[in-house]
Amino acid sequence: MTVATSVREEPLDEAEVFAWRAHPARQRPVAALLAAAVIAAMAVVCALAVSVGWGILAAVVLVLTLHRFFFPSRFTIDEQGVTARYLFGTRCCAWSEIRRFCHDRHGVYLSTRSRPSRLDAYRGIQLLFGRSREEVLRRIRLHLADGGSPTCGG
């Protein structure tokens, strides 16, 4: 799903910072074209039904809503925790706050809650793997070995 350009992708000393970049639209061009076609169709419908201005606004809102798919994200793992840098902001989470993690083929979700909750979307952090899946999982497991409890997918 994602493309990563790592600052360094070979195994590193655990004390060093591991950084990578993920860009899902570049990795999945068919999905990106399909998403762009749906956005364009919605913009045309809005333009014909209301006005061209509303059509343009609809396209911009939809692209910005999907910014994590259309624009690259940068991630780092270090001794303090994890950081995700997106188009509209940065999220950080210290290792001491992480209680659980789940992963799938595209990325990993680190939660500050020990059990799944409706609040997960607001309390955790999502990291996309890019091309660094195994190294990301290895480093997360290494850091959570002293206190986190990977309860699903781990």
Mean pLDDT of 139-150: 69
Residue of 89, 62, 70 lying closest to 27 (CA atoms): 70
In the chain the domains, ranked by start, together with CATH numbers, are: 18-23+72-144 (2.30.29), 27-67 (no CATH)
pLDDT digits (tens, 9 = 90+) for 33-47: 999 999 999 999 999
pLDDT digits (tens, 9 = 90+) for 57-87: 999 999 999 999 999 999 999 999 999 999 9
The interaxial angle of helices 29-49 and 52-65, nearest 10 deg, is: 150
pLDDT tier at 16 (50, 70, 90 boundaries)?
A: confident
73-77 and 81-86 as β-strands: parallel, antiparallel, unpaired?
antiparallel
Mean pLDDT of 7-23: 67
Residues β-bridged to residue 21:
74
In this predicted structure, what is the pLDDT of residue 146? 53
Residue of 82, 129, 80, 84 lying closest to 103 (CA atoms): 129
In this predicted structure, what is the pLDDT of residue 15? 62
In this predicted structure, what is the pLDDT of residue 142? 87
Are the C-beta atoms of residues 111 and 120 closer than 8 Å to each other? yes
How crowded is residue 125: how many other Cβ atoms within 10 Å of its Cβ? 20
> Can you give the C-alpha Rg of the chain in angstroms?
18
Place of tokens 């990291």: 127
Residue 153 scores a pLDDT above 80: no
Question: Any idea what the Cα angle at residue 95 is, between residues 74 and 68, rounded to 5°?
Answer: 25
**Nearest-angstrom CA–CA distance, 25 and 35:** 9
Q: What is the pTM of this model?
A: 0.75
Residue 4 scores a pLDDT above 80: no
In this predicted structure, what is the pLDDT of residue 121? 74
In this predicted structure, what is the pLDDT of residue 10? 43
18-22 and 73-77 as β-strands: parallel, antiparallel, unpaired?
antiparallel
pLDDT digits (tens, 9 = 90+) for 109-135: 998 888 887 877 778 888 999 888 899
